[in-house]
Amino acid sequence: MPSVQRNKSKEFPRMRPFLSVTLLCLLSLPCLAAEQHFDFEKANENGRPFGWKISADRCTARLDGIRTSGEKGLHFDCTNDGDGATAAYAARTVVTDPSRAGRATLSGDLRFEDVAAGHAGLWLRIDGADSMLKLKNMSDRKLGGTIDWARYSVTVRFPKESRGITFGALLSSDGQLWTDSLTLDIAYDDGPPKLREDLRNYLNTALDLIVEKSIFRPIDVQAFRRESTDSALGSESVDEIHASIVNALRRLGDGHFTSNHTLQCLT
């Protein structure tokens, strides 16, 4: 996970895909169920939630009795008196059917205390065979400060070349975050995914800008456009098209162009 500058960075986890999501599935994770429920009731030998990958940099991560269901919830505390990055996240992976596209929605209960806006929430990542395909988090909602328990969700389209979905909760600033009662809903497409004409035109305009203006112009333009369009199939809103555009730019390595040109030109 890259370093996170306290109160400045809005990057959520981009950990490498697990070496074998299939093996993880067989050992401990449910596979291919339409709706799956995840809690923090069972602790491992280290006192952390069983079945979850937990990372805490200058933070504490523990189970406690502040929860919305059961007996335990997960608590991140990144309050400290020193300088430097603070970040904590929980991650879990399930396997997807490699021959089917669909939509994944992660829902969960969150409670914030003294958190910098946009630096905490749920996150959802689509993993391919050897790279990240898509990433969605709640940084754009600017949630922060002190907020009592509420239910939140994030949704991501996944292409049929996806191999797994990694998800969880993250805090990347000073403050505290509690989370509980996570649900992952996977809805596979019944037929070939489509894209409305207005959204397709919007995407094509963005791809035209990228090909014309980006300093990381794709070598194979047709392959780039085809891959970007396939990734956007099934999208139902401009926000989802934006996510596909951002991921297309990430594939080119053009992070600056992502925030400073394409989306500004389109909005």
Closest CA to 76 of 168, 182, 151, 8: 168
Give, for all 267 residues of the chain, the pLDDT tens digit.
Answer: 433 344 444 445 554 443 344 334 333 334 444 789 999 999 998 889 999 999 998 899 999 999 999 999 999 999 876 666 789 999 999 998 888 888 999 999 999 999 999 999 999 999 988 888 888 999 989 999 999 999 999 998 888 889 999 999 999 999 999 999 999 999 988 877 788 899 999 999 999 988 888 777 788 888 889 888 888 888 888 888 888 888 888 778 765 555 445 555 655
- Which token pair is 186? 């996977």
Distance between CA 250 and CA 255 in Å, rounded?
6
Distance between CA 206 and CA 199 in Å, rounded?
11
Distance between CA 116 and CA 198 in Å, rounded?
36
Q: What is the DSSP letter of 187?
A: E
Name residue, tokens 């979850």: 52
- Kindly tell me the number of DSSP H helices and DSSP E strands found in the chain: 6, 11
Beta strands (DSSP E) in the chain are 35-38, 53-57, 60-64, 73-77, 87-95, 102-115, 120-127, 132-137, 145-158, 164-171, 176-188
pLDDT at 8: 43
Burial of 220 by CB count in 10 Å (0-12 exposed, 13-18 middle, 19+ buried)?
exposed
pTM exceeds cut of 0.75: no
CATH code, 21-188:
2.60.120.260
Sequence ranges of the domains in the chain: 21-188, 197-266
DSSP characters for 61-88? EEEES--SSSS-EEEEE---SS-S--EE
Phi/psi for 126 (5° steps) reads -100, 125
Do residues 90 and 179 touch, judged by C-beta distance below 8 A?
yes
Burial of 133 by CB count in 10 Å (0-12 exposed, 13-18 middle, 19+ buried)?
buried
pLDDT at 230: 83
Non-local (6+) Cβ contacts of 263 within 8 A are 242, 245, 246
